[in-house]
Chains A and B, each alone.
Chain A
Amino acid sequence: MMSRLADLALHSALWSLLAVGGINSTLADIQRYAVDTRHWLTDQQFVTFFSAMQAAPGPNGMAVSLIGFQAAGLAGALVATLAMIIPSATLAYFVSAWVERHHDSLVVTAVRRGLAPATVGLLACAAYVFAREIDVNIGRVVLTVVTVVVAYRTRFNPIWLVAAGVVVGLAGLVK
C-alpha cells in the first residue's frame, strides 16, 4: 500500500510538472502508465473519469485525484492531489518571479514559442485517446462531431453543450 502511494505521488508530481499547457497534455502518458502499466483502472474508467472531469468544476487536473482514488481510496486521492499541486506550484512561484524580470529576453520567448506546438501535439494525443475509446458507435460519433462544430464556430459556454449531452444520454438517444 505504501509503495503504491509513493508510486502515485511520484507520477502525479511528474505529470503535473510535464503538463505544459494544462493537464490534458499529459493525458496519453497517464493512460499509458495508470492503465497499461499499473492496471489501477480500466481504459473505460480512465476515459470516463477524464471526460467527467471536463464537466466538473475546478481545474481539469482533478482527474488525477480520481485516478488516485481508484488506485488507493481516499488516501490515494489526497496523495495524488497534493503531489499534483505542490511541485508545479513551487516551480510556478520561482520561475514566474524570474520571468517577470527577464520577460523580454530571447530565451523566454523562444521557450514559449517552442513549447506551443508541443502542447498542441500533446492535446491532439488526448483528443485521439478520447475519440478512440469513446466514439465506439455512430450515435456517439455524431454527438462528437456536432459538439466540435458548435464549440469551434460559436462562443457558447461549454457547460450548455455538456448539459445537452447529458440530456441526450438520459433520453436514451445514444448508447
Chain B
Amino acid sequence: MNATIPDDSNGQGAGPPDKPVARPQPTLGQIFSAFFMVGLSGFGGVLPWARRMIVERRRWMTDREFAELLPLAQLLPGPNVSNIATILGRQYRGVAGAVTGVCGLYLAPTVITIGVGYAYARWGNAPVTAHLLAGLMPVATGLVIATVLKLLVSLPRDLRNGLLVVAMFISIGLLKLPLLPVLAVLGPSGSWLMWRGLRAEALTRRHEDQPR
C-alpha cells in the first residue's frame, strides 16, 4: 500500500500561497486591548463591533478578509467572536496570541456577568426589576425571532435545507431530545446530503469541461 507516496502536497511546486505577503504583526498587548474593547462594547451582538475594531480602527484586515474569516468562525462551535479572537490571535502570535485574544475578550464580560448575578440575587424580586424585565424580555425575544427569519431567507430554498430545519426544530424544540445525539445524527447526515450535491456538481462541471 505504502509503496511510493509522492511528496506533492507540501512540495515547492505546490503553488504560491495566495495570502498577501506583508501582514500586520500586532503585539500581544495590542491583541489584548483590541479584544478587551470588543468584549466591553458588544451590546446586541458582538460581531459588528469586532469588525469595526479589526477592520476600521486597527486596520489589521480588509473588509473582504474579515468576511472570509466569518464562515469559519461560524462553522466552529462556541460564540463566533470568541472564535475570531482565537483565529486572529493564532495567525498573529501563535498560542500566546490566541490565549491573549480570548482572555482579553472575556475579561470584562465575566466581571460584568458576576456583578449581574449578585445584583439579581439582591434585587431580583424588586418591583422595579420586574418592570424593567417585562419590557426587556419581549424585545430580546423579538430580536432572536428576527435573527431566525433573516437566517431562514438566507438559506437556499430546497428540500434538503427545509427538511433539516424542520427535523431539528421537532427533535429539540418539540420532543425535547438531548442535543448531543440529535446533532450527532443530523450534522453528518446534512453534511452528507450537501456533499452528494457538491460532488454531482463537480462531476458535471468536469464533464462539461471536456472538449467534444
Q: Which of A65, A127, A159 is within 8 Å of B145, CB to CB? A: A127
Range, interface on chain A: 35 or more
* CB-defined contacts of B72 to chain A, threshold 8 Å: 96, 99-100, 103
Question: Across the two chains, which residue of chain A brings its CB closest to B111?
Answer: A58
Say yes or no: A58 contacts B39, CB within 8 Å. Answer: yes
Is A6 part of the binding interface, using a Cβ–Cβ cutoff of 8 Å? no
Which chain A residues numbered 89 to 130 have a C-beta less than 8 Å away from chain B?
Answer: 89, 91-93, 95-97, 99-100, 103, 106-107, 109-130
Residue in B136, B144, B172 whose CB lies within 8 Å of A166: B136
**Given A135-B141, A143-B139, A151-B146; A125-B180 close (CB under 8 Å):** no
In the assembled complex, the Cα of A128 lies from the Cα of B43 at a distance in Å of 23
B98/A114 in contact, CB under 8 A: no
- Please tell me if the beta carbons of A166 and B105 are within 8 angstroms of each other in the complex: no
Task: Name the CB-closest residue of A to B69.
Answer: A96
Q: Which residues of B contact A116 (CB under 8 A)?
A: 155, 161
B39-81 vs A, CB cutoff 8 Å, 1 = contact: the mask equals 1111111101000000000000000000000011111111111
Known: A29-B178, A162-B44. A114 touches B136 (CB 8 A): no
Q: Which residues of B contact A168 (CB under 8 A)?
A: 135
Q: How large is the interface on B (under 10, 10 to 19, 20 to 34, 35 or more residues)?
A: 35 or more
Task: Mark each residue of chain A from 52 to 81: 1 if its CB lies under 8 Å from any CB of chain B, else 0.
Answer: 111111111110011001100010011001
B182 CB to nearest chain A CB (Å): 9
Nearest CB on A from B129, distance (A): 9
Q: Is the CB of A131 within 8 A of B141?
A: yes
Chain A CB count within 10 A is highest, among B112, B134, B160, B195, for B134
A146 touches B142 (CB 8 A): yes
Evaluate contact between A148 and B108: CB separation under 8 angstroms: no
Which residues on A sit within 8 Å (CB–CB) of B149? Answer: 148, 152
- Residue contact B191 to A93, C-beta cutoff 8 Å: no
When the two chains form the complex, which single residue of A36, A121, A124, A165 contacts B139, counting CB atoms closer than 8 Å?
A165
**Given A85-B106, A115-B191, 10 more contacts at CB 8 Å?**
A51-B137, A88-B83, A89-B98, A92-B78, A110-B192, A120-B165, A130-B140, A148-B149, A165-B137, A168-B135
User: What are the 5 A-B residue pairs with the smallest beta carbon separation, nearest first?
Assistant: A169-B135, A147-B142, A58-B109, A121-B168, A158-B44
Interface residues of A (CB under 8 A from B): 14-24, 26, 28-29, 32-33, 36, 47-62, 65-66, 69-70, 74, 77-78, 81, 84-85, 88-89, 91-93, 95-97, 99-100, 103, 106-107, 109-131, 134-135, 140-141, 143-148, 151-152, 157-159, 161-162, 164-170, 172-175
